[in-house]
Amino acid sequence: MATASTSAELREQNRSRALALVHESGGSLTRVELAELLDVTRTTAAALVSDLSALNLILEHDADPTGRRGRPTTNISPHPEGPVVLAAEVANDRITVAEVAIGGQLKNRKDVKLESGDPAEAVDQLDQVLHERRANLASNCAGIGVAMHGLVDDDSGLVVQAPNLGWENVPLGRRLRQSHRLPVKVDNDATLGALVEAKRGAGRLARTMLYLRSTVGIGGGLVFDGTPAPSRRGWHGEFGHLPFGDTRHRCRCGAHGCWENAINQLALAAAAGIEADPVEANAAADDVLNRAKAGDAEANNAVARICGILGRGLGSLINALDPEVIVLSGHVQRLYETDPATTVDALMSASMRAHRQSLPPVRSGVVEHPALAGAAEAILTDLIDSPTRLLAPN
Ligand SMILES: [Zn+2]
């Protein structure tokens, strides 16, 4: 945010800071707490609250009637009829859409089967699904955020390569902007998940967070002080395509020996002797993990084998990136939670002695549906940065 030079700019900056606090509190804050956190007088806080209420961004209501807080104040929460962002995630077999308002809660999440493997038809379907959802919205739509399982040019929203969908150079961002005339953000699902997990999840307060998320493929990101680590085109974090797997195996990305093929749901099912179809991969992996938790020896062996490969990769990433905390989401999180001992043993065996003395903690992600939440967060951040400018009537 730029430094304010006029009193109007300063007031807008304070509105933005107040709205950010309401958003990050996840729902509820008192007016007295807001004044303290902003380090402004109660009169100034009251004026900011009044501005943001007039914009339908927040709602002020009576505080806890028990009066435990000792002095009269009011609670401030995101306005129930405030603007929402439509967030979508395109996976290899489905489109998931939800509404996300200030405060970050997801509402009305719904899966729709992806009708076609053809990129142009899939984009048409996504566009249609978004229009239908917008037509039924009770609130103002502030923009659209889309999480893609692949490499994305995050400025234009061009999907450069989505290996599991078979998409290459699909101009998704441009198409949605033209169709909806709204701010549109398209980015990689793991990059978006990493950002939201760093901002208000398991990586909060850590300066460097290594994030690994697996759905069908495995992606990730390194977040530094709340921002993705810089890279040439924003394509860093494709940790699933590091050659920690069997080099005889060619991955759909074009490389050989990719890690994700050695630890994904299909690999876990195969380790337990199940030849699953890709569409049944999730169910097959869940079955193996559930059997392992119930004490089935064969399933436990399969989980241990895959956790060994997961742990060795994590140890290598610690050597390469020296993160303060590692956050896991999706299938890799479930693997780790099922057999943390084997994962950590393998992680130790792959990490340099200097790292072993002080390993970064491995945590489970806490943000629900991180890709959707992250896709919305990008648009919400712009809204929070300049609430009046973005909501002023044209
Ligand atoms: Zn690959």
Confidence of residue 394 (pLDDT cuts 50, 70, 90): very low
| One-letter amino acid of 97 | V
Dist. CA 264–CA 243, nearest whole Å: 14
Distance 175 CA to ligand 1 centre (A): 28
Between 363 and 65, the more confident residue is 363
Greater confidence (9 vs 171) lies with: 171
Q: If you write DSSP's letter for every residue of 25-89 in order, what string do you get?
A: TTT-EEHHHHHHHHT--HHHHHHHHHHHHHTTSEEEEE--TT-TTSS--EEEEE-TTS-EEEEEE
Cα 360 to ligand 1 centre (Å): 26
- Judged against a pLDDT cut of 70, whether residue 59 lies above it is answered with yes
So what's the pLDDT on residue 306? 98
Residues whose Cβ atom is located within 5 A of ion ligand 1: 241, 251, 253, 255, 258
Residue 4 has pLDDT above 80, yes or no: no
Q: Is CATH 1.10.10.10 the right assignment for the domain spanning 7-78?
A: yes
Q: How far is the CA of 7 from the centre of ligand 1 (A)?
A: 53
Confidence band, pLDDT 50/70/90 cuts, at residue 1: low
Q: pLDDT tens across 332-353, in order?
A: 999 999 999 999 999 999 999 9
C-beta of residue 185 within 8 angstroms of C-beta of residue 144: yes
Which residues lie below 8 Å from residue 36, measured CB to CB, with a gap of 6+?
A: none
pLDDT of 139 above 90: no
Which H helix or E strand runs over 362? strand 362-364
pLDDT of residue 231: 86
Residue 57 has pLDDT above 70, yes or no: yes
Domain boundaries, the chain: 7-78, 84-192+370-391, 205-364
Binned at pLDDT 50, 70 and 90, residue 393 comes out as very low
What integer best gives the mean pLDDT of the chain? 91
**What distance in angstroms lies between residue 346's CA and the mean position of ligand 1's atoms?**
22
The domains spanning 7-78 and 205-364 adopt the same CATH topology:
no
Distance from the alpha carbon of residue 252 to the mean position of ligand 1, in angstroms: 6
* pLDDT value of position 141: 94
What is the 8-class DSSP label of residue 247? T
The predicted structure's pLDDT at residue 391: 61
| Phi–psi pair at 251, nearest 5 degrees | -85, 160
Distance 90 CA to ligand 1 centre (A): 19
Decide: 274 and 339 in contact? Cβ < 8 Å.
Answer: no
The residue among 42, 37, 41, 2 whose CA lies nearest residue 18 is 37
Rounded Cα distance between 148 and 165, Å, is 10
Cα 243 to middle of ligand 1, angstroms: 8
Tell me the two tokens of residue 287: 């079955």
pLDDT at 2: 58
Q: What is the pLDDT of residues 67-125, one digit of tens each?
A: 555 556 788 999 988 999 999 999 888 999 999 999 998 999 999 999 998 999 999 99
Chain segment 205-263, per-residue pLDDT in tens: 899 999 999 887 899 999 999 888 888 888 889 999 999 999 999 998 899 999 999 99
3-state helix, strand, coil in the chain (%, to 5): 45, 20, 35
pLDDT of residue 200: 86
Topology of the domain covering 84-192+370-391:
Nucleotidyltransferase; domain 5 (3.30.420)
- At residue 37 the predicted structure's pLDDT band, cuts being 50, 70 and 90, is very high
pLDDT in tens, 278-304: 888 999 999 999 999 999 999 999 999
> So what CATH class is 205-364?
alpha beta
pLDDT band (50, 70, 90) for residue 50: very high
Task: Give the distance (Å) from ligand 1 centre to CA of residue 219.
Answer: 10
**Dist CA 358 CA 370 (whole Å):** 28
